[in-house]
Amino acid sequence: MKILLISPIGFCSGVRRSINLALKIKKEKEEVYTLGALVHNPKVIEELALKNIKIWNSEDKPRNKVLLIRAHGLPREEVEEYKNLKNEIFDATCPLVKRVQILSEFLAKNGYKVIIIGEENHPEVRGILSYTNGKGLVIQRIEDLKKLRNFPKIGIVSQTTQNWEDVKRIIDKILDKAKEIRIFNTICPEVEERQRKLEHFSKELDIILVLGGKNSANTKSLFQIANKYTRAYQVEKIQELEKDWFNEEDKVGLVSGTSTPNTFIGDIIKRLKEWFPLEISCV
């Protein structure tokens, strides 16, 4: 069986930065709590918990604790509330997400209606929306545009893990809604590259394994792309992998979300190697 590793694969730089920050803080502090899942991968969260870096799950607000803002960011008012409760706060927000927050705040302060293209209930989008001072509107799909009336000025940003083709389709429908429109492509370049390369190679593959958390937006986008062209499976846990999916002569592509650890990718390859002789290449 031929295995094609579609790179970049494994952690993106933003996820790696967030995890490294958490580990660095833990060396200096007795206990560290993250405000929500640090990244959207259950295996990573389990491994961090073993190092005593845990999600704050209590219904009570933390006080006098060491807190870490998740890679997806957090609504600004929540950060201020935690500060007022005398917590020590460290910011693990991905720099690219932070850039979207800053752009959204800039647009709102300069009189633009801020359109955020993304998943309404995703923590990243909720965080970005908080920087618009009530001047933001989330558009998840084209049907949501019925909520948008005309404005003198519109500024457009997007969740960093969106599919650019889907974003462009929505932007096209917004262009007649204002005299002045500013558009920022805020999709993570590495997310775009994974999507672009997957789209390119999908057509020549029999099966694609999309490796990553079921709650990961960018992993979900990869699965949607792969599923358009060939048989695709999203695998979050090694136990989900089934031998019956494959034949020895298959050409199988492996692609991962940005919060999928290399150790998990290695485990998948090891399991496939137990079942079939493998010829592995990377693109």
Is 248 tagged catalytic?
no
- Among 105, 119, 124, 190, the active-site one is 124
Where do we find the tokens 């389990």? Answer: 46
155, 182 Cβ separation under 8 angstroms: yes
Q: What is residue 116's three-state secondary structure?
A: strand
Strand partners, 32: 53
Task: Output DSSP code: residue 39.
Answer: S
Q: What is residue 129's three-state secondary structure?
A: helix
Output the CA torsion sign for 271, 193, 223, 10.
positive
Structure tokens at 178: 């204002």
Helix (H) or strand (E) holding 136: strand 136-139
Antiparallel, parallel or unpaired: β 251-256 and 2-5? parallel
Strands laid side by side in the 88-91 sheet: 53-55, 32-35, 66-69, 88-91
Q: What are the residues whose beta carbons fall under 8 Å from the beta carbon of 218, sequence distance 6 or more?
A: 161, 188, 191, 194, 212, 257, 258
d(CA 144, CA 123): 19
The rounded radius of gyration (Å) of the Cα atoms in the chain is 20
236, 214 Cβ separation under 8 angstroms: yes
**Per-residue b or e along 8-20, where b marks 16 or more CB atoms closer than 10 Å to that residue's CB:** bbbbbebbbbbbe
| Residues labelled as active-site residues | 124
